[in-house]
Amino acid sequence: MAAGKPWSEGNVFLSGIQPSGQAHLGNYFGAIRQHLVSQDEAGEHFYFIADLHALTTSRDPEALRENVVDVAVTYLALGLDPERAVLFRQSDVPEVTEIQWLLACVTGMGLLERAHSYKDKLAHGVKPSVGLFTYPILMAADILAYDASVVPVGKDQKQHVEMAQDMAQSFNARYGASVEGGEVFRRPEGRLPAAELFAKVPGVDGEKMSKTYGNTIWIFEEGKKLKKAVGRILTDSREPAEPKDPAGVLLLDFLALFLDEPELADWRERVRAGGPDAPGYGHLKVRLVEAMDAAFGPARERRLELLADRGELEAVLRRGAEVARERASCTLDRAYRAAGIR
């Protein structure tokens, strides 16, 4: 136990993933990769599929079920190790929705009204449900339920983690005095992708890659379809021999996601210099397909194996839910008691 606190000293890593269809390069470099890398750090690791959050946008029950499976398979195929990280479905831990209520009662409307993601959706003409409005409270409950200390997220989720800090603080300020150590909920810290390129992966049109913009490349695409997807990356009609500013060549941004520094520097230099040895856009595309095959090839195969054994997949998620529930019910009990219930 940390001195006087109800949680243990070490780090607890936690993140949620929305089950919203196949993963694209933006999802991978902006989120998934951070999750996989962090499982090597000392501490506990919780990763869950945010199916309750998905209900704020999903309308198709069958698609939701499939997407949940898809996320689980994607993570396991890419190397999430269920022996080291607890992988589970958000909805398998109902305690989280009870914690959500406790947090809702200490959260001002103003805090939620300031949420960028909510305001963006309104600006895009979405008619908000109460669920969409209170989305950040459910997310805070996800985080606080497991005493998370580090929350690896994409840039777009940073504010939501800050809101979880605010909610923990409001709850602790109101009820902390009644518990030993003065805190009911542990303060979480967000962790963003280290490099700016990973925080905002471009799509084939150069805008931010997003399902909404139809400019994605799926990480598990292969063969002809992958070539076609890479073929859509925006280029122009300049000849290979013409010297170019590498910063203006979108394909180099894609290659930067995969290549080591010396190789990348070499491609950049040859593009900049122009002349007879300069690569054409076609060369860069071929190298990108190769690099994607090398990066994701083994995971594509594991994915197919996992999809063929749904029983094993279910077992992993069930075991994960058991561990997660135990932690969340401890936290819930502590919070109820602090608030004068139980």
Q: Which is nearer to ligand ADP, 140 or 338 (CB)?
A: 140
Beta-strand ranges (E) seen in the chain are 12-17, 44-49, 86-89, 150-152, 189-191
User: What CA–CA distances, in Å, run from 273 to 249, 263, 276?
Assistant: 13, 15, 10
240 is an interface residue for ligand ADP by CB under 6 A: no
157 is an interface residue for ligand ADP by CB under 6 A: yes
18 is an interface residue for ligand TRP by CB under 6 A: yes
User: What CA–CA distances, in Å, run from 163 to 147, 170, 199, 304, 309?
Assistant: 15, 10, 20, 38, 39
Q: CB of 210: closest distance to ligand ADP in angstroms? A: 3
Instruction: Work out the widest C-alpha separation in the chain, in whole angstroms.
Output: 78
Answer for which of 110, 130, 177, 212 binds ligand ADP (CB under 6 A) is 212
Annotated catalytic residue 158:
no
Catalytic residue from among 158, 200, 211, 227 = 211
100 is an interface residue for ligand ADP by CB under 6 A: no
Q: Which is nearer to ligand ADP, 27 or 134 (CB)?
A: 27
**CB under 8 Å, gap of 24 or more: what pairs does 325-328 form?**
325/92, 325/93, 325/95, 327/46, 327/145, 327/146, 327/147, 328/93, 328/95, 328/96, 328/99, 328/145, 328/146
The entry of ligand ADP, ligand TRP, none near residue 56 (CB within 5 to 8 angstroms by kind) is: none
Residue 219 near residue 28, CB atoms below 8 Å: yes
Indicate left, alpha or beta for 4 from its phi (over 0: left) and psi (-120 to 50: alpha). Answer: left
From 33-41, 136-144, 258-266, 309-317, span contacting ligand TRP (CB under 6 A) = 136-144
16 is an interface residue for ligand TRP by CB under 6 A: yes
From 74-82, 135-143, 263-271, 276-284, span contacting ligand TRP (CB under 6 A) = 135-143
> How far is Cα 292 from Cα 308, in angstroms, rounded to an integer?
24
Answer for which of 12, 14, 31, 335 binds ligand ADP (CB under 6 A) is 31
SS3 of the chain: helix, strand, coil, percent, to 5: 60, 10, 35
> How far is Cα 25 from Cα 299, in angstroms, rounded to an integer?
14
> How far is Cα 267 from Cα 259, in angstroms, rounded to an integer?
10
The entry of ligand ADP, ligand TRP, none near residue 219 (CB within 5 to 8 angstroms by kind) is: none
H or E segment to which residue 52 belongs: helix 51-54
15 is an interface residue for ligand TRP by CB under 6 A: yes
The entry of ligand ADP, ligand TRP, none near residue 142 (CB within 5 to 8 angstroms by kind) is: ligand TRP
Q: CB of 317: closest distance to ligand ADP in angstroms? A: 20
Structure token digits, residue 246: 């590498």
**Beta-carbon count within 10 A of 39 CB:** 16
Answer for which of 35, 53, 325, 327 binds ligand TRP (CB under 6 A) is 53
Answer for which of 5, 33, 187, 208 binds ligand ADP (CB under 6 A) is 208
Annotated catalytic residue 200:
no
The dihedral built from the CA positions of residue 37, 39, 43 and 46, taken in this order, carries a sign that is positive
Q: Which is nearer to ligand TRP, 15 or 149 (CB)?
A: 15
34 is an interface residue for ligand ADP by CB under 6 A: no
Residues 146 to 165: which contact ligand TRP by CB under 6 A? 151, 153, 157
Pick from 138, 142, 39, 36: nearest CA to 88: 142
Q: Which is nearer to ligand ADP, 68 or 201 (CB)?
A: 201
From 73-81, 118-126, 201-209, 313-321, span contacting ligand ADP (CB under 6 A) = 201-209
The entry of ligand TRP, ligand ADP, none near residue 143 (CB within 5 to 8 angstroms by kind) is: ligand TRP
> How many residues would you count in the chain?
342
Residues with a catalytic annotation lie at 121, 208, 211
Binding positions for ligand ADP, rule: CB under 6 A: 18, 20, 26-27, 29-31, 153-157, 199-201, 208-212
